[in-house]
Amino acid sequence: MRGPGDLLGSVLSTGGNMTVTTTPSGAPADPGGATGPARARLVLASLILVAAVANLNLAVANVALPDIGRAFDAAQTGLDLIAVGYSLGLAASVLYLGALGDRYGRKMMLVLGVSLSVPVCLLAAYSPNAGVLVIARLIGGLSAGMAYPTTLALITALWAGTRRTHAIALWSGIGAAISSLGPVISGWLLEKFWWGSVFLITLPLAAVALVMAIVYVPGHVNETTDPVDNIGGILSVLMIAAIVLAINFAPVPDEGVLILVMAATGAAAVAAFVIRQRRARAPLYDLHIAGRRIFWVAATAGIAVFGTLMGAMFVGQQFLQNVLGYSPLAAGASILPAAVLMVVVAPWSAKLVGVRGSRFTLLTGYLFCLLGFLAMLLLWRENSSYWEVGLGYAFMGIGVGFAGTPASHSLTGSVPVRRAGMASGTADLQRDLGGAVMQSILGAVLTAGYAAAFAKTIAAAPGGQQISTSVQNQLEKSFDGAQAVAQRYPQYAGKITVAAKSAFLAGDQWAYLTGIVAVLLGAAIVFFLFPKKRHEEELLAAYQAEDTAGPGQRRGGPLLSAPQL
């Protein structure tokens, strides 16, 4: 079996002189089963570096959350918003910005996104309060929404055949690994500098990525001339933002009206978006393509896989620092098994897709993600050793390494290249909507479980009735809130810390159980609805034939009757 180096060689061996040719549908021609662009090594390296800027910015906040909580005396919900803000900005904007890139230039969006990330990182690093930091994270997500999905769209437009599969494997595996390395670097910085230093990590990388993108990435490849559905784009931003915020505020006391407004807004925006897409002459999100069986099942599967990874890292970093007492560096380094295994498994995943199909590869990934959550649920305790921690992260890394390639490959393979922005936007939603939703859900479950457990402890404690309402609210709002109370009342510090750890462990158990349910639901969808290898190949061939057919054939010909559940 080939390793990462062999895979890289096979993807990039098109080397210096190949140019991109296209089929009538706009896809790169595929003589002999593989094509790629000129200077393929430098193009792919540039795209991976741009993706790395977004991936690192996505991951750096989690390790710093305890320090940020202490610096701003932030409630758990505030920390949740800081953690999810980047994913929220990215997920909410990615469909609209992907369509703008398809129409006006993917390279332009790439360069704008990387350029905007620089001042936004500076704003995050020097935020005077939690509110400004949340805003900086949201804008940072918007900058990533310009750049990150464009990288996959360009891979779809520039490569074809087996080399596209291998390029996606490298993009997915290396990208996920870089995201996992973010906490390690952040932890090292936190031991030497203030919390804001973690948001400066990507500045040197952004400078290099920007130069390489300008010099090496092709300017215009298979871009559409259709007008952009701006109304649909605005509705897409509104519906995703409202839904994620409603989930995030769900556990906050006395915010029932806000939650209902957010939920109602999200539901109304979803309905309006669907109606708009059915009526628009050039829809932002082609529901006919989105209804293709391979496309929508792969999209759902990816949301579950990438969402559970981000959710596990979000809860896990707080567990390691708050309960086990890890330093930020040690907590970040604990994720290394996941980072390494994502890269190691990526070439195996690409080969497994070719041999057994996307369905089998996705289910293999789900199995390891399930094992990861089970390890966290059963082994992560107050006195857990590192091997127990590392085992959980190792299983998650293997799972995402296997599932990432087929989830992205199935999306790009089931759309015409002129709609690459739609496929890449959906692939990005897998990571960022999945990450935002699962972090919000697991964070909400953790918050609710923590508060309920601490409330029971106070009620059962001798003299618990003497604790003032304000102090009790501070104890129940977050682990860092409890630590702040412990500093004010040092004579009770030991008991408060023990109670806070116990409450956190009660909350995180419910979070891990929620992750297990999400993995099982995703696996069930793939098992029952994703086609096996032979049927998958038949469907992909039917999609390609429909996309290359004339308008009359697409509307009334036999191709439309090909299976598209």
Phi-psi sector, 21: left (phi>0), alpha (psi -120 to 50), beta: beta
Joined together, the tokens standing for residue 488 give 């004010």
Single-letter amino acid, residue 134? V
Averaged pLDDT for residues 370-392: 93
Cβ 62 vs Cβ 331: under 8 Å:
no
User: pTM of this prediction?
Assistant: 0.74
pLDDT in tens, 404-454: 888 888 888 888 867 776 777 787 777 767 776 787 788 888 888 898 888
For residues 505 and 511, give the distance between their C-alpha atoms in angstroms, rounded to a whole number.
10
Nearest CA to 365 out of 172, 519, 535, 534 is that of 519
Cα 230 to Cα 397: distance, rounded to the nearest angstrom = 38
CB 138 within 8 A of CB 88: yes
227-270: pLDDT as tens digits = 888 999 999 999 988 887 887 677 666 677 888 998 999 999 99
pLDDT score at 189: 87
Q: DSSP class of residue 384? A: -
- Which segments of 22-129 does DSSP mark as H helices, in order? 40-72, 76-104, 106-125
The answer to whether the CB of 84 falls within 8 A of the CB of 315 is no
Tokens linked to 188? 């090292």
Q: Tell which residue, 123, 7, 137, 119, has the closest CA to residue 59.
A: 137
37, 18 contact by CB (below 8 A): yes
Residue 362 is predicted with a pLDDT of 95
User: What b-and-e string marks burial along 68-96, b requiring 16 or more CB atoms within 10 Å of the CB?
Assistant: bbebbebbbbbbbbbbbbbbbbbbbbbbb
Q: What are phi and psi of 127, to 5 degrees?
A: -65, 135
More confident residue, 560 or 11: 11
Tokens of 103: 């129409």
Closest C-alpha to 217, from 113, 141, 120, 143 = 113
Kindly report the length of the chain. Answer: 565
Can you say how many angstroms the Cα of residue 375 is from the centroid of all Cα atoms in its chain?
22
pLDDT given for residue 438 in this prediction: 83
